[in-house]
Amino acid sequence: MGRTTKSENAQYHDRIIDIDILLYDDLHIDYPELQIPHPLMMERDFVVIPLKEVLD
What is the pTM for the complete model shown? 0.56
Q: Is 51 exposed, middle or buried (0-12, 13-18, 19+ CB in 10 A)?
A: middle
Tell me what percent of the residues of the chain surpass a pLDDT of 70: 73
Radius of gyration of the chain (CA): 14
Tell me what percent of the residues of the chain surpass a pLDDT of 90: 38
55 or 12, greater pLDDT: 55
